[in-house]
Chain A
């Protein structure tokens, strides 16, 4: 077996005992699990062997570096975070990116596993070869951004890289995010697990060299990818940002509106950041992105008469969550809601979904309309900020919503479960599953819950949502999409350069081989994905998952789409059962073993 060229140390930290140790991972581990998500899942699989309460100190948090981080490979400074989700009770794995990811590797680390819990707020400081447990009591109550600034001031080092939680993570909001470099690992509540461990931040400082097996081949492959990433394949991300989805989904009649009670939103044009960009008079547009990424996809907006530092990122899912999904057509209110979530450390999708759920509950008399001081109803922009603050600090109705819509519906009762839009506890993202059967299958079966980045079949289906594609082909599409997402997330490459590959599996495997020196081909990459999916399923089974959990919110079965070109469509239970059976048969047979075309 060829030797893995990159940083290979695993740092294991016990916060209770305040001890740590490092050990080198063997070549077999990297051959088996590459890095990023696959490595993180493997490390969780080794440690979670039975039922586990997510907020118990025993729940491990894993950070696993992307194997291309801190190399010339573009769009690859990323790392995975994995833990048992306090929102779903199942495995949660996600990504964050930028400088923190790169410095993780410059500290000589392939991964960190954190268990136990501190008695008081603590910063885990990894300073080259040193590991320290530092008092973080002065950081409590700060946003991740302010905590980062305070730590940099304390260290006197502007290059210090920090990931941290905000108030929401401290208060145990079950969809609290972890932020580094302005990027968030948002979904699934990893921030609440940090909070339960009294782990406010992880600070990194490392300047080690990151070895590359074949520098010449890596440079050549990276140059090709970088050139493509500066071309038309990524123009929509570079020039417009993901929020350009909003106009398109509205035109398609696929824009979930008012907690999925409609699929078109009359106010959509008012909240599309493209419109703000086109007028250019009221809003200033700023650009940002991850370290080493030529795409620089983040488009931030701020009113010209306000402080530039209050600019909000205009990602599609965030704009959707507080705009159409809450029936709000006021762009400034939507941007303020997004910025407040980032300050408090909240996942925008789950937060917006929780507020939309509360709005519908209020309309049906299940919760007080004045629960947040402003009228709780669809379309009322004024209620967004008070509701967000109440969720982050667990005040009043916000305390129930802070546990996610599944738990909140149980607590509120009175049939509120009909309005809880989630899969396995994770709130739905902004695509309409009733018109997209394969995407609906992917949401139902996804080990993480309702995740659009792992059930990303919608791009194929949106080409022709009326096509009569049979169960076997749709199941194959779902498996391929999941496996491909695992491959992306384990190499790790940003999905926004996905169209820049002519043959992703072959080219991705070639990049891996050039950077690490460990041979891999397209078939091997698909096998890693299948193996990782099997580990995810096995972890979830140990945590109590059953096949009955692979389902969709009741509304998607019971209520047809009310408006637009897809009016009348719903998920037929028998059809979903048939799709799930085809999906399970394919997974049992070892997945789709051929490289995906």
Chain B
């Protein structure tokens, strides 16, 4: 599954996206764990130390425009993006 990275996630990982081997459909915690294993540098600034959640204000948006409902699963075609919400200046 391709995961696009923006903001701090991209700055720390040094890449615009990562490919993760995941069984679909995927839950958010599964994706975050796999992302942390692929890019350990994302812990603790983007992924919490426990490895199972994103550190606010980072969040997962599907296709860059839809938040994941609680408990929902998604597939690669949903185009997951780790990003932040634009704001300010």
Q: In this assembly, does A51 line the interface, its C-beta being within 8 Å of a C-beta of chain B? A: no
* In contact, B7 and A565 (Cβ under 8 angstroms): no
Distance between Cα atoms of A456 and B87 in the complex (Å): 8
- The segment out of B20-28, B29-37, B64-72 that lies at the interface is B64-72
Residues in B whose Cβ lies below 8 Å from that of A242: 87-89
Instruction: With both chains docked as a complex, state the minimum distance between the C-beta of A301 and any C-beta of chain B, in angstroms.
Output: 15
Interfacial residues of chain A within 268-299, with CB under 8 A of chain B in the complex: 274, 278, 297
The majority secondary structure among interface residues of chain A is helix
Task: Judge whether B11 and A499 touch: CB under 8 Å.
Answer: no
Contact A245–B65 (Cβ < 8 Å): no
Total interface residues on A, CB under 8 Å, equals 36
Cβ 8 A contact of A565, one of B65, B81, B87, B88:
B65
Q: Tell whether, in the assembled complex, residue B86 and residue A459 are in contact, meaning their CB atoms are under 8 Å apart.
A: yes
Interface of B is mostly: loop
A251 in the interface (beta carbon within 8 A): yes
Q: Closest B residue to A245 by CB, please name it.
A: B86
Q: Contacts A463-B67, A464-B67, A466-B66; is A248 near B88 (CB within 8 Å)?
A: no
A252 touches B45 (CB 8 A): no
B57 to chain A, nearest CB (A): 6
Q: Do A244 and B56 touch across chains, with their CB atoms under 8 A apart?
A: no
B62 nearest in chain A by CB position: A464
Assuming the contacts A236-B8, A236-B84, A251-B6, asked whether A465 and B65 have C-beta atoms less than 8 A apart, the reply is yes
Q: Which of B7, B10, B61 has the most C-beta atoms of chain A within 10 angstroms of its own C-beta?
A: B7
Q: Which of A408-467 contact B (CB under 8 A)?
A: 431, 453, 456, 458-459, 462-466
Q: Assuming the A-B contacts A232-B56, A251-B4, A565-B63, are A239 and B85 also in contact, with contact meaning beta carbons closer than 8 angstroms in the complex?
A: no
| Neighbouring A residues of B8 by C-beta, 8 Å | 232, 235-236, 239-240
Task: Say yes or no: B56 contacts A462, CB within 8 Å.
Answer: no
The answer to whether A252 touches B64 (Cβ under 8 A) is: yes
- A453, B87: Cα distance in complex, Å: 9
24 contacts between A and B (CB under 8 A): A232-B45, A232-B58, A236-B84, A239-B8, A245-B87, A247-B6, A247-B7, A248-B83, A248-B86, A251-B4, A252-B61, A253-B64, A253-B65, A274-B10, A316-B89, A317-B89, A458-B87, A463-B67, A463-B85, A464-B65, A464-B67, A466-B65, A495-B88, A496-B89
Q: Measuring CB to CB, which residues of chain A are less than 8 angstroms from any residue of chain B? A: 232-233, 235-237, 239-240, 242, 244-245, 247-249, 251-253, 274, 278, 297, 315-317, 431, 453, 456, 458-459, 462-466, 495-496, 499, 565
B residues neighboring A (CB under 8 Å): 4, 6-8, 10-11, 44-46, 55-59, 61, 63-67, 81, 83-89
Closest 4 CB pairs of A and B: A245-B86, A251-B64, A242-B89, A459-B85
